[in-house]
Chain A
Amino acid sequence: MIELYLLLIFMIIGAIVAVEIRSLLSSVVAVGVVGFALCVVFFILRAPDVAITQLIVEIIALVILIRVTGIKRDVTEMRGEQRELITQGVSVGAVIALAVFFFLAIRLLPEFGKPLMSLSKDYFSPLIKSGAINRVASVLLDFRAYDTLGEATVLFTAVVGAIAILRKRGRKKVEEEDREE
């Protein structure tokens, strides 16, 4: 699995570049590169549905991010003094503490390449047939259809929220401005 490790190290370097570079447009391009490398990693991990979705979603996310960074005329980040040292030190300390807990908890995970598969054994025993060849589709829409219904609701809510924020001004404000004159 040497290619998996190489791609992961490439993604980490890309993420460090995206976080630390000063120009916002270069940072958005670096995030795009990390996303494409993630798509290739999904292919290596034998997940073709996920790879197709990640590729297209990455492209749309790049277009949206470039739209929002193009608002300011100058695309560089603000210089200025750092935040207060105490705040920055405390936040970095909290991240390091979280890292320590992560590395302690990794020991409890099963070894990479030998998953437990406690539920998938029951889903794909020879007795139950769902008729679909694509196992991911049958899990999404037959065995776990409630979760897909929940996802449809979350997507609907997020989209309605975004459209509601970006609507033009309502009628009340226009009437108040007319009354002031």
Chain B
Amino acid sequence: MVYFLCFLLFLIGLYCIVTKKNLLKIIIGLVIVEYAVNLFLVLLGYKTGGHAPIINLAAPDWIYVDPLPQALVLTSIVIGLAVLALVVAIAMRIYERYGTFDITQIRKLRG
């Protein structure tokens, strides 16, 4: 059931990327898709009744949640920020060249 809601978030972001005309709305859809994917990865590793994955030396028989998806998501979040900066840089250059953010008017490719 939780996976349904997570996929619904992904589909909302995907719908925004596919059907909107404004370039900045497309970037916002990209951010929502990235949130949904990170959430899905962390949801895969959750163990009911588990504790956060820091070993407690005073209680040696705790159950811990899976730390492997959390390691993947940690790097993915920082890379998402760098990719957002790159995409925003491209969008600013497009605005400087064409004067608009409307993707139906950015069609002329100059060689």
- Asked whether the complex places CB atoms of A and B closer than 8 A, the reply is yes
Chain A binding site: helix, strand, loop or mixed by DSSP? helix
Whether, in the assembled complex, B1 has its beta carbon less than 8 Å from a beta carbon of chain A, the answer is: yes
Interface residues of A in 90-142 (CB under 8 A from B): 91-92, 94-95, 98-99, 102-103, 106, 109, 112-115, 117, 119-120, 123-124, 133-136, 139-140
Could you say which residues of chain B place their CB within 8 Å of the CB of A35?
35
Report if A133-B54 is in contact (Cβ < 8 Å); known contacts: A31-B28, A78-B102, A166-B93: yes
Q: From the candidates B21, B24, B46, B54, name the one contacting A135 in the complex (CB within 8 A).
A: B54
Binary CB contact string for chain B from 66 to 105 against chain A (1 if under 8 A, 0 otherwise): 1110111111011111111110111111010000111010
Tell me whether A106 and B7 are in contact (CB under 8 A): yes
Tell me whether A19 and B11 are in contact (CB under 8 A): no
With the chains together, A88 CA to B15 CA distance in Å?
10
Work out how many contacts link A and B, with CB atoms closer than 8 A: 223
Interface residues of B in 8-63 (CB under 8 A from A): 8-9, 11-16, 18-22, 24-25, 27-29, 31-32, 35, 38-39, 42-48, 50-55, 57
Could you say which residues of chain B place their CB within 8 Å of the CB of A151?
75, 78-79
With the chains together, A9 CA to B8 CA distance in Å?
10
Tell me whether A34 and B55 are in contact (CB under 8 A): no
Chain B binding site: helix, strand, loop or mixed by DSSP? helix
With the chains together, A171 CA to B91 CA distance in Å?
23
Chain B residue at smallest Cβ distance from A35: B35
Q: Please tell me the number of chain A residues within 8 Å of chain B, measured between CB atoms.
A: 80
Tell me whether B53 and A98 are in contact (CB under 8 A): no
Nearest-neighbour CB distance to chain A for B77, whole angstroms, equals 5
With the chains together, A91 CA to B1 CA distance in Å?
26
Report if A99-B67 is in contact (Cβ < 8 Å); known contacts: A19-B25, A91-B19, A162-B82: no
Tell me whether A114 and B88 are in contact (CB under 8 A): no
Q: From the candidates A16, A45, A106, name the one contacting B3 in the complex (CB within 8 A).
A: A106
Report if A83-B104 is in contact (Cβ < 8 Å); known contacts: A19-B16, A45-B46: yes
With A4-B2, A19-B15 already in contact, 18 other A-B pairs whose C-beta atoms are closer than 8 Å: A12-B8, A15-B32, A16-B12, A45-B42, A46-B53, A46-B65, A54-B38, A61-B81, A64-B84, A69-B24, A72-B95, A78-B102, A91-B19, A112-B3, A113-B47, A115-B44, A133-B54, A162-B82
Report B's interface with A, CB cutoff 8 A: 1-9, 11-16, 18-22, 24-25, 27-29, 31-32, 35, 38-39, 42-48, 50-55, 57, 64-68, 70-75, 77-86, 88-93, 95, 100-102, 104
